């Protein structure tokens, strides 16, 4: 064993294979090591920034690494820039030397250090490349957490509908800012009078397999919708169609007309217009574990759907909560539902990742840290393109700890997210109102720590048959006959199934 500062150890090893899976460190086994690393090793490494940057080192973290979660052991994972050519044996030896001489100079040749190229990607841009994915890009009558969304007229950008917020008593969907083509260049925003968020995305629309599949899936959804109405008296009173499956001639005609309209005229379903977004920015974190927090969020007001969504939004949001001040969810088991990888589970790492790739206007490095969500099991796959915008939710607490913005494409073993507490403060500032809350919960008061206390909005939630399924699939679809346009037109290609 190599003793780090004579208090704890990192197992003996030379440079190891960087492609071995990485896992979050374990407590209580790694508790002493974690404190020594955070309190002593990281500050020492940050005093050697010039040496690290000269060797193209862009980040580091204390992890466990090995063939399996059971056999993985504590390791200093060092990332070098994806474009670096300093990957030969001589440079790798120098990279190891710099890290280990800072952390444990007496044992610098023996520390277990993993060195590999980092491939961090924002997960809201580009087409997927994993066979069998995407897994959650189907059309939903009422879009729920994890649904596919895009921008009208753009077919190569896809992101995830994370969930919903209420701002001044109006519903807004939450997603990632880098879905927008002007995420880093605000001047592009003026190219259009408005930017419309659609469900599904244009990319997913172009992946559909043809009218017959669309018609079949639509019939399944409509039948489910009618079954839901049949079971619930409250829904039956609001549904514009007869509360039974389309077996009568009248209901069959109604369904056929809707199919013809949706399939043949191929409209895009508008969710709403973009209202506020963070851009590629940082803000001072209110959480004591962090200095700065990366911002990457966008809000669109729900104003384009053909029917009021308050009951649906309240239903799927009713158990979600904003975490208490200073709670980043460190060490908590969490889950996220993304457009591409669907349900993902992991744990928020006890050890933060230190980024060295942010510069100020003068070219000075401005390190910052994040507590990523990491894999806990051997078969966990965390994040891929199209998953940006997903809510990171505590499995036991139902706290929304953040909104996913990216991850490491080379390993798919960790994802990064915008801290929810800091994001709420950022939204309040950009929206110019303190009235930012989650929908569908009983009245309560909470504070993010960065602003005044506010009352959560209260919304009526219609009853539902839990045995029949969730509200997004079972909710009634409003049909308006005649010349009135209930679906906004956009792409020539059908934007749903």
CA distances from 271 to 14, 147, 214, 340 (A): 53, 12, 20, 20
Mean pLDDT of 216-231: 52
Residue 223 pLDDT greater than 90, yes or no? no
Mean pLDDT of 34-60: 90
Q: How far apart are CA 57 and CA 42, in angstroms?
A: 14
pLDDT tens figures, 238-261: 344 443 444 555 556 656 655 554
Residue 300 pLDDT greater than 90, yes or no? yes
Decide: 484 and 320 in contact? Cβ < 8 Å. no
What order do you get walking across the sheet with 270-277 strand by strand? Answer: 159-161, 147-151, 196-198, 270-277, 298-302, 170-175, 163-167, 436-437
34 Ramachandran zone, left/alpha/beta (phi>0; psi -120 to 50): alpha
pLDDT of residue 159: 92
pLDDT of residue 122: 63
User: Which range among 283-292, 426-435, 481-490 shows the weakest confidence by mean pLDDT?
Assistant: 481-490
Residue 34 pLDDT greater than 70, yes or no? yes
- 212 lies in the same domain as 335: yes
pLDDT tens figures, 408-418: 877 788 999 99
For 308, the 3-state DSSP assignment is coil
pLDDT of residue 264: 42
| Token duo for residue 471 | 């509200």
Read off the pLDDT band of 438 (50, 70, 90): very high
- Quote the pTM value: 0.76
Decide: 118 and 416 in contact? Cβ < 8 Å. no
pLDDT of residue 20: 81
- 135 lies in the same domain as 61: no
pLDDT tens figures, 258-271: 555 444 443 457 88
| Token duo for residue 274 | 């973009």
pLDDT of residue 230: 47
- 316 lies in the same domain as 440: yes
Q: What is the H or E stretch that residue 480 is in?
A: none
Mean pLDDT of 417-430: 96
- The distance in angstroms from the start CA to the end CA of the chain is 58
- 297 lies in the same domain as 225: yes
pLDDT tens figures, 441-479: 543 334 444 432 323 332 222 222 333 332 232 233 332
- Average pLDDT over the chain, rounded to an integer: 74
- 388 lies in the same domain as 449: yes
pLDDT of residue 450: 40
pLDDT of residue 402: 97
Q: How far apart are CA 86 and CA 317, in angstroms?
A: 48
109 vs 452, more confident = 109
- 235 lies in the same domain as 298: yes
pLDDT of residue 248: 55
- Across 37-46, 169-178, 243-252, the highest mean pLDDT is recorded for 169-178
Domain count, the chain: 2
Q: What is the H or E stretch that residue 74 is in?
A: strand 73-80
Q: How far apart are CA 495 and CA 475, in angstroms?
A: 20
Q: Of 89, 118, 147, which one is at a domain's C-terminal end? A: 118
User: Which range among 75-79, 183-187, 316-320, 428-432 shows the weakest confidence by mean pLDDT?
Assistant: 183-187
pLDDT of residue 105: 65
Report which DSSP code applies to 457.
P
- 405 lies in the same domain as 495: yes
Q: How far apart are CA 152 and CA 115, in angstroms?
A: 42
Per DSSP bridges, beta strands 436-437 and 353-355 are unpaired
pLDDT of residue 484: 25
CA distances from 486 to 161, 205, 222, 267, 489 (A): 22, 19, 17, 10, 9
pLDDT tens figures, 59-91: 999 999 988 899 898 889 998 888 889 888 888
Q: How far apart are CA 122 and CA 179, in angstroms?
A: 9
- 105 lies in the same domain as 134: no
231 vs 374, more confident = 374
Residue 401 pLDDT greater than 90, yes or no? yes
User: Which range among 218-222, 293-297, 365-369 shows the weakest confidence by mean pLDDT?
Assistant: 218-222
- 229 lies in the same domain as 335: yes
- 189 lies in the same domain as 51: no
Cβ atoms within 10 Å, residue 207: 17
Cβ atoms within 10 Å, residue 330: 17
Per DSSP bridges, beta strands 353-355 and 342-348 are unpaired
Q: Of 118, 142, 177, which one is at a domain's C-terminal end? A: 118
Residue 220 pLDDT greater than 90, yes or no? no
Mean pLDDT of 272-298: 94
Q: Provide the CA 141 distance to its chain's centre, in angstroms.
A: 22
For 80, the 3-state DSSP assignment is strand
The percent of residues above 90 in pLDDT, for the chain, comes to 34
17 vs 206, more confident = 206
Mean pLDDT of 169-178: 94
Read off the pLDDT band of 233 (50, 70, 90): very low
- 450 lies in the same domain as 334: yes
Decide: 493 and 202 in contact? Cβ < 8 Å. yes
Mean pLDDT of 431-436: 94
Q: Of 76, 100, 118, which one is at a domain's C-terminal end? A: 118
Domain with 373 in it: 119-497
Mean pLDDT of 353-370: 90
Q: How far apart are CA 158 and CA 178, in angstroms?
A: 10
pLDDT of residue 364: 87
- 447 lies in the same domain as 465: yes
Phi, psi of 11 (to 5 degrees): -55, 150
Read off the pLDDT band of 428 (50, 70, 90): very high
23 Ramachandran zone, left/alpha/beta (phi>0; psi -120 to 50): beta
Decide: 492 and 266 in contact? Cβ < 8 Å. yes
């Amino acid at each position: 064993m190599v003793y780090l500062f004579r208090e704890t150890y990192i197992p003996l090893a030379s440079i190891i294979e960087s492609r071995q899976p990485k896992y979050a460190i374990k407590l209580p086994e790694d508790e002493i090591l974690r404190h020594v690393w955070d309190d002593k090793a990281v500050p020492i490494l940050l005093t050697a920034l010039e040496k690290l940057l000269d060797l193209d080192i862009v980040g580091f973290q204390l992890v466990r690494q090995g063939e399996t979660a059971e056999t993985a052991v504590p390791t200093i994972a060092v990332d070098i820039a994806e474009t670096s050519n300093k990957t030969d044996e001589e440079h790798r030896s120098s990279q190891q030397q710099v890290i280990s001489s800072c952390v444990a100079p007496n044992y610098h040749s023996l520390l277990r250090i993993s060195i590999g190229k980092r491939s961090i990607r924002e997960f809201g841009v580009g087409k997927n490349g994993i066979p069998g994915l995407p897994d959650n890009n189907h059309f939903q009558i009422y879009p729920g957490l994890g649904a596919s969304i895009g921008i009208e007229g753009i077919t190569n950008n896809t992101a995830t509908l994370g969930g919903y917020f209420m701002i001044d008593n109006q519903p807004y969907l939450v997603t990632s800012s880098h879905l927008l083509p002007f995420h880093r260049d605000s001047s592009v925003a003026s190219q259009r009078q408005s930017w419309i968020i659609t469900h599904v995305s244009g990319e997913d629309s172009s992946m559909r397999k043809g009218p017959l599949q669309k018609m079949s899936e639509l019939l399944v959804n409509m039948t489910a919708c009618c079954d839901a109405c049949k079971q619930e008296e409250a829904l039956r009173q609001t549904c514009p169609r007869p509360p039974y499956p389309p077996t009568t001639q009248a209901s069959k005609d109604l369904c056929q007309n809707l199919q013809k309209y949706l399939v043949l005229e191929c409209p895009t379903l508008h969710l709403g217009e973009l209202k506020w977004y963070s851009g590629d920015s940082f803000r001072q974190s209110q959480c004591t574990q962090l200095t700065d927090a990366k911002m990457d969020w966008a809000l669109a007001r729900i104003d384009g759907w053909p029917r009021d969504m308050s009951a649906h939004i309240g239903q799927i949001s009713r158990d979600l909560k904003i975490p208490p001040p200073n709670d980043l969810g460190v060490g908590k088991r969490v889950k996220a539902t993304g457009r591409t990888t669907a349900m993902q589970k992991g744990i928020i790492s006890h050890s933060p990742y230190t980024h060295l790739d942010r510069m100020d206007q003068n070219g000075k490095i401005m390190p910052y840290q994040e507590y990523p969500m990491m894999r806990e099991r051997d078969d966990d796959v965390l994040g891929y393109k199209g998953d940006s915008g997903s809510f990171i939710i505590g499995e036991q607490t139902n706290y929304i700890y953040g909104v996913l913005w990216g991850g490491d494409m080379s390993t798919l073993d960790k994802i990064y997210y915008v801290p929810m507490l800091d994001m709420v403060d950022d939204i309040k500032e950009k929206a110019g109102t303190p009235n930012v809350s989650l929908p569908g919960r009983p009245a309560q008061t909470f504070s993010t720590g960065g602003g005044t206390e506010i009352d959560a909005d209260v919304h009526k939630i219609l009853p539902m048959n839990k045995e029949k399924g969730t509200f997004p699939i079972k909710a009634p679809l409003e049909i308006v006959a005649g010349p009135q346009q209930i679906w906004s037109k956009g792409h020539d290609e059908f934007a749903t199934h």
